[in-house]
Structure 1
Amino acid sequence: MKISIVGSGYVGLVTGMGFVKLGNEVIFVDVDERKIEMINNAEPPIYEEGLGKLMKDFNGRYHATNDYREAILNSEVTFICVGTPSREDGSIDLTYVKQAAEEIGKVLKEKDSYHVVVVKSTVLPGTTEEVVKPILEEHSDKKAFKDFGLAMNPEFLREGVALRDFLNPDRIVIGVQDERTREILEELYQPIDAPKLFTDIKTAEMIKYASNAFLATKISFANEIGNICKKLGIDSWKVFEGVGLDHRISPHFFRTGIGWGGSCFPKDVKALINKAEEISEEPVILKAVVEVNERQPLKLIELLKKHVPELKGKAVGVLGLAFKPDTDDVRETRAYAIIKKLLNEGAKVIAYDPQAMKNFKQSYPDVGEKIVYSESAEDVLRATDFVLIVTEWGEFEELDYSGKIVIDGRRVRAAEKNAKIYEGVCW
């Protein structure tokens, strides 16, 4: 098929290139001229494993533009993959979704053939039908489910392994109302061997939020148990190895440490809390999930001060700035709260991350411009006697931590084995 993708961030670019690999032609639409130029030069504007090779291998099967008209007139299906950032109150900002719907609607007015619009951006239940649909209808002078298709297809991509997740997903969820749209999307996803769950549109929207809220809850629960284990002298990882053997529970996402960050969990849990309160429901568990997560990264500083009570003037190394390994994404990274606290305590921070240093400095100028960035992890170890491990990059397992005081938020085994003094957050 011929597909257009509005928005070429993590979700849009990975989704588009995944469809290219499956044999489709893709046009990316974006307002960022730098991204457009990079995509057209087969250069990924984000760091994601395997993406650069895929773009080079299939160069010619896709291109990027800022022209909605070109993209939609030359495609059969359009995916909306724009961002839905959080507002200060936790609600999601639909500005980009509304803009995309308006521009798509204007072009649909010119089309005689049946065109399917798919919302892939994470939006709260009701958004596709109550916000996107009226805008599309107003600007196209057409009726959804009759003159054009409309669907909701949430993404479940994990940064760092997003391409693998797209091509080998646990499930594909598609919210549809009309049979014609269902058949088109069924054909589009036919090459992927995974369970395909067709629901109504609102249910598909909720599945995404419920999934992320549960995973965030599982991590915060593990960390709360882990904090108790730490004070009792128990290794929480061994506890959850035993807990996870129960087939009703499973071992996944029981990695205790300094909590979750990124572009999805924080935004989605807060949005669900906001929506619940809007409809007069009190989300007690979800609020506790967020509270535990916000406290968790500062456990690193508490443990460091057990060994170094006065941090003023001390050089402290920080290994890892990305919110997780194998990505350059620093959105809601645990490193920010940790570094901010260190600076407030008067410490000199020397940091290293294989991919995220530039993004961290740009995204968090209040702290990012006050720290020293090293060219390698070895340089960090040479420059300081105190090291905090914030992201579990594979290369940190190759380091010699001899003679160092290491406070570990991610369980790097090499540090556990050879540091002079080693403290794990929950073990």
Structure 2
Amino acid sequence: MSKHEPFIDAQAASQILGVSRATLYAYVSRGLVRTTDGPDDPRRRLYSSHDIDGLKKNKSVGRKPRDVAATTLDWGLPVLSSDITLIESGRLFYRGQDAAKLASTATLEEVARLLWACGDNDPFAVGAPRPWDATLLDLTKDLPLTERCQALLPFVDAGRMTAWQRDNRKLWPSAAALLRAVTAAASGSQPSALPAHIHLAKAWDLAETGADIIRRTLVLVADHELNASAFATRVVASTGASLGACLNAGLSALSGPLHGGMTSLVEILFDEIDDANNAAEVVERRLRRGDSLPGFEHPLYPDGDPRAAALLPLLPPNAKRQSLIETMAETTGKLPTIDVALASIRRELGLPQGAGLALFAIGRTVGWIAHALEQFQEKKLIRPRARYAGPKPDDT
């Protein structure tokens, strides 16, 4: 646990939640509240303020189903059951396997087979999708990344196959073709049958060390539970639409500044530090203005994003980057997220502008497809009800 995270005693925690000590201990046993030893007495337990505040927020809406459902859409309790990804105790797991450990050896394709539940089947044994038309590739090269992918994916025949009532096993080859297509579209290249990290290393002229960092990055961003783009993907999948349509939904959600746009905001922060040549000065200036400091603190990782922790040590030392991380830890108690890692990787490896988001989109394609395949199995439409807040009906 982070030394910066506040902890409170049992009496304060019980009072904030309005529950008995027994109920508080039950929350702990269910993994809803983390504890730590008291600094002066290891027999005395302290309770995470972050977890207590989260529980209080969920309790404050009352017990009406419609109110509870409304809060689940804002960092609330799970709204869908899934076997794909678990985020627990500051760690990320893919079908029960630690993602950071997987990243040390696995390729993105191997993780895809795990998340798509392929077993011994290898959908990547088939050849690459047909090449893009050169004119089409040229016409889309200047589009923003998400729009470029969305423009090119309809030309992947397999991606247009309606998924409704088809066995997932019939869709695995289409999924593999779409991943290869996204890898090519995001890097402005022709599709190939190479593993994604090798394809990108060739497209970006990287040596073996750079290719390995790319491989680890793709694995670590492959999925992240029910974030905005995964949820959008599942909503479209629930209609029985094609895998291509599901990816289109994920890409659309990714294009927003509060999701995929975060990497570009971190890039701007790094640019400011380069200009000022002083990270502490930039942080102080932003704090005085009340500006945001993107790329630090993740609601699901109060002790630090394990993906950033796995990737940043792989990069060559960088005094400005390290100064920013240390300044943020000392000033705000916040630690870097995956967005800081993506921006840092792009800069250290000399990748094209926007390559951080490209890596995210390519890796996350695996997760989007996994969520689509899982949702297809549900065979039911995701259709929440709205809580009407408009004018009263006119009864006259």
Shorter-normalised TM range? under 0.3
Higher strand share: 1
Higher helix share: 2
Query: Normalized against structure 1, the TM-score is what?
Result: 0.24
